[in-house]
Structure 1
Amino acid sequence: MLIKSHTINGVTIAEIISDTIVIESVQDGLDLMGDVYYQGFDKVIMYEENITPDFFDLKTKIAGEILQKFSNYRIGLTIVGDFSKYESKSMKDFIFESNKTQHINFVTMLEEALENFSK
Structure 2
Amino acid sequence: MPDAIEERAGVQVLVCDPAGPPVTTTQDALDLIGASYAGAEVVAVPASRLDKRFFTLGTRFAGEVMQKFVTYRVRLVVVGDISRHLAASSALRALVHESNKADHVWFVPDLDALDARLRDAG
TM-score > 0.5 by shorter chain? yes
The within-5 A match list for 1:11-90 is: 11-37=11-37, 39-86=38-85, 87-90=88-91
How big is the shift at 1:21?
A: 4.0
Distance 1:69 1:57 in 2: 18
Take 2:36 and 2:77, find their aligned partners in 1: how far apart are those partners?
Answer: 14
Closer/same/farther in 2, CA of residues 9 and 90 from structure 1, 3 Å limit:
closer
Counterparts of 2:105 and 2:118, CA distance in 1: 11
Please, which runs of 5 or more residues in structure 1 have no aligned partner? none
Alpha-carbon distance between aligned partners in 2 of 1:83 and 1:9, rounded to the nearest angstrom: 24
In the TM superposition, what whole-angstrom CA distance separates every residue of 1:40-64 from its partner, at most 9, and x where no partner exists?
1111111010111111111111100
C-alpha distance in 2 between matches for 1:80 and 1:10? 18
User: What is the identity, as a one-letter code, of the residue corresponding to 1:24?
Assistant: T
Determine if contact 1:21/1:49 at 8 Å carries over to the other structure: no
Q: What is aligned with 2:93?
A: 92
Give the whole-Å Cα distance in 2 for the aligned partners of 1:18 and 1:85. 18
RMSD of aligned Cα (Å): 1.7
Measured after TM superposition, the shift of residue 102 of structure 1 is 2.6
20-29 vs 94-103, which moves further: 20-29
Q: Give 1:18 shift.
A: 3.5
Aligned partner letter, 2:43: V
> Where does residue 6 of structure 2 map in the other structure?
6
Counterpart secondary structure, 2:19: coil
| Residues 4, 15 of structure 2: 8 Å contact kept | yes
Deviations 1:9-54 (A, max 9, x none): 65211100042442011111112111222x1111111101011111
Q: Distance in 2 between matches of 1:69 and 1:113?
A: 21
For structure 2, which runs of at least 5 residues remain unmatched after alignment?
A: none
